């Protein structure tokens, strides 16, 4: 019996499990899918139950199966005949789809391929004598496996960097914007400050304003940039290379890109569509750059890349525009220098972008909407800390994620693959840049599944 343990059951973990069951072949296989909450296929992205929280990508791009691009469209259309490939479906529906796809893969797998869904949390991993890995769970259970796939997805973001202990000076800071009781902790008329102006901030701002249109909401980020509205990629641009992997510097890449944009605009096409066409070349360009060029991109280009790459569904964009025009939502650029509680409100000392002077902002609640934890070094999860401390995992130099080798094998402190250990999720950004969306993650899931199925021989079993 070959055993593969998948730690995490959000999109990445479920996608890996589906692919392994589909590729099981002739040898006995046991896939163990472990999740802290016990809820499959939800995670940070798809755990919401609000019908107003929509996918920011059309249904046609959301199949979990690389070889069947219409898979999700067919499922969603079974639930609602109005759904087409261009529809923006509720995120809760997508969570249901992933759970359904996993059940399908389980039902269609050969008898000797089994799936066990386990509730629990891994606190450490250790190499086994003779090969494989042993996982210790927080409740004292052990799981032994020939291969382990780390698929824990988006980890909670730590507070934005301030002076040591500054955030402990206020009881009004909310670390998790997706906590179930968020609205009940915020007064109907409390001014709210959102840290961040990306997709999460837009979701939370509109959630607050739907409840009370007169609530004062202020979103603050370093650049004050909001996500751009979704624009479909034309067939003309979909097949365009735009840039070559050989662009040796950020400056050269931008120069080539702007030349292409000028030609597109001269032809009457929207320049923003050119950015979407870069997607299939992004990993090659990123990998060709040395560390100094990657740093230059992160410092000067990343904020603008992010707001154009991660776009808003049309319905959400209309709602956001109305909130901005009506003054219910304010957006500004700056950085928080200090925070303290004063009477009924928190007082933040903020330095506006481009100014040497500071201003004060007051808020009844401060909600961290800066996204997930970008760097393993800042993660508070015991498993990540143990893997880094024991040299089984190595964080990249730019604070983007983990270093990986062929088929997403995790590299240890010595730069060599840690035997039997793989990673899938947003920390693949370190090596591939584009590593957070379904079209990329489903390809990584398939590659990991092929590697695990191919490389794992007949093992001595496992015990739990």
pLDDT of 44 higher than 70: no
- Are 95 and 141 within one domain? yes
Q: Is 403 in the same domain as 431? A: yes
What pLDDT, on the 0 to 100 scale, is given for residue 382? 94
Range of the domain at 66: 2-156+374-455
Here the tokens at position 212 are 């009370």
Q: Could you tell me the two tokens for 448?
A: 């990991």
Per-residue pLDDT band at 49 (split at 50, 70, 90)? low
Q: At what angle do helices 314-326 and 199-211 cross, to 10 degrees?
A: 70
In a domain, 463, yes or no: no
Per-residue confidence (pLDDT) for residue 462, from 0 to 100: 42
Per the domain annotation, does 464 fall within a domain? Answer: no
Which of 204, 149, 197, 177 shows the shortest CA–CA distance to 10? 149
pLDDT at 459 over 70: no
Whether residue 430 lies inside any domain: the answer is yes
Q: Within a domain: residue 268?
A: yes
Considering the domain boundaries, does residue 379 fall inside one?
Answer: yes
The DSSP string of 179-206 is -TTTGGGS-TT--EEEE--SHHHHHHHH
Whether residues 449 and 353 fall in one domain: no
Give the pLDDT confidence score for residue 143 in this predicted structure: 96
Task: Tell me the C-alpha distance between 41 and 97, whole Å.
Answer: 8
Residues 250 and 148 in one domain: no
Lowest mean pLDDT across 219-223, 269-273, 375-379, 422-426 = 269-273
pLDDT-derived band at 234 (thresholds 50, 70, 90) equals: low
Residue 318 makes CB contacts below 8 A (sequence gap 6+) with none
The pLDDT assigned to 72 comes to 97
Do 301 and 320 belong together in one domain? no
Give the pLDDT of residue 9. 92
206 and 329 in a single domain? The answer is yes
Q: Quick one: 315 and 305 in the same domain? A: no
Q: Which of 60-74, 93-107, 253-267 has the lowest mean pLDDT?
A: 253-267
In 235-290, where does DSSP find H-type helix? 235-238, 250-266, 272-277, 279-288
Question: Residues 34, 170: one domain?
Answer: no
Tell me the pLDDT band of 46, cut-offs 50, 70 and 90.
low
- Of 427 and 453, the structure prediction assigns the larger pLDDT to 427
For residue 461, what pLDDT is reported?
41
Number of domains in the chain: 3
User: Quick one: what percent of the chain has pLDDT higher than 90?
Assistant: 65
Residue 244 has pLDDT above 60, yes or no: no
Residues 224 and 297 placed together within one structural domain of the fold: no
Q: Which residue has the higher pLDDT, 371 or 148?
A: 148
Residue 238 in this model has a pLDDT that exceeds 60: no
CATH code: domain of residue 434: 3.50.50.60
Lowest mean pLDDT among 34-43, 95-104, 318-327, 361-370: 34-43
In a domain, 89, yes or no: yes
Average pLDDT over residues 335-345: 89
Q: What does pTM read for this prediction?
A: 0.90
Cα distances (angstroms) measured from residue 79 to each of 10, 11, 89, 94, 403: 22, 20, 11, 11, 40
Asked which of 271, 294, 309 is the last residue of a domain, the reply is: 309
Do 113 and 128 share a domain, yes or no? yes
Q: Is the pLDDT of residue 456 over 80?
A: no
**3-state DSSP call for residue 431?**
helix
Two tokens, residue 3: 């055993």
Over residues 210-214, mean pLDDT: 94
Check residue 464 and give its pLDDT.
Answer: 39
Site of tokens 């210790």: 136
Same domain, 75 and 179: no
Q: Specify if 462 maps to a domain.
A: no
Instruction: Inform me whether the pLDDT recorded for 197 exceeds 50.
Output: yes
Residues 430 and 392 in one domain: yes
The answer on pLDDT for 139 being more than 70 is yes
């Amino acid at each position: 019996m070959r055993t593969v343990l998948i730690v995490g059951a959000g999109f990445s973990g479920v996608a890996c499990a589906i692919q392994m069951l589909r590729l099981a072949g002739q040898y006995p296989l046991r896939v163990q899918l472990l999740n802290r909450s016990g809820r499959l296929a939800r995670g940070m992205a798809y755990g919401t139950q609000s019908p107003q929280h929509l996918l920011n990508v059309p249904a046609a791009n959301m199949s979990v199966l690389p070889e069947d691009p219409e898979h999700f469209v067919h499922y969603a259309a079974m639930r609602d005949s109005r759904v087409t490939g261009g529809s923006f479906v509720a995120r809760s529906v997508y969570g249901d789809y992933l759970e359904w796809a996993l059940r399908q893969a389980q039902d269609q797998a050969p008898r000797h391929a089994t799936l066990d869904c386990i509730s629990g949390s891994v606190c450490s991993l250790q190499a086994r004598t003779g090969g494989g890995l042993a996982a210790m769970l927080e409740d004292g259970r052990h799981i032994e496996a020939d291969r382990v796939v780390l698929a824990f997805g988006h980890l909670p973001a730590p507070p934005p960097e301030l002076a040591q202990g500054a955030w402990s000076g206020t009881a009004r800071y909310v670390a998790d914007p997706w906590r179930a009781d968020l609205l009940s902790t915020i007064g109907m008329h409390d001014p709210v400050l959102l840290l961040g102006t990306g997709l999460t901030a837009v979701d939370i701002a509109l959630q607050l304003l739907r409840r009370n249109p007169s609530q004062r909401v202020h979103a603050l980020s370093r650049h004050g940039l909001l996500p751009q509205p979704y624009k479909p990629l034309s067939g003309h641009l979909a097949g365009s290379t735009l840039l070559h992997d050989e662009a040796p510097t950020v400056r050269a890449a931008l120069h080539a890109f702007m030349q292409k944009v000028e030609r597109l605009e001269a032809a009457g096409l929207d320049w923003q569509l050119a950015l979407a066409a870069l997607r299939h070349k992004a990993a090659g360009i990123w990998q060709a750059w040395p560390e100094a060029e990657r740093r230059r991109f992160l410092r000067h280009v990343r904020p603008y890349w992010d707001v154009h790459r991660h776009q808003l569904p049309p319905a959400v964009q209309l709602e956001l525009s109305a909130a901005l025009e009506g003054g219910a939502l304010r957006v500004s650029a700056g950085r928080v220098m200090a925070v303290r509680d004063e009477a009924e409100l928190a007082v933040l000392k903020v330095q506006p972008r481009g100014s040497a002077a500071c201003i004060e902002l007051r808020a009844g609640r401060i909600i961290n909407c800066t996204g997930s934890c970008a760097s393993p070094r800042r993660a508070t999860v015991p498993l990540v800390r143990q893997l880094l401390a024991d040299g089984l995992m190595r964080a990249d130099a730019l604070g983007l994620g983990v270093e990986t080798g062929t088929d997403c094998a995790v590299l240890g402190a010595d730069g060599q693959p840690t035997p039997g250990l793989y990673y899938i999720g947003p920390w693949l950004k370190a090596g591939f840049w584009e590593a957070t969306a379904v079209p990329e993650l489903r390809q990584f899931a398939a590659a990991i599944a092929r590697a695990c199925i191919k490389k794992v021989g007949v093992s001595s079993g496992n015990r739990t």
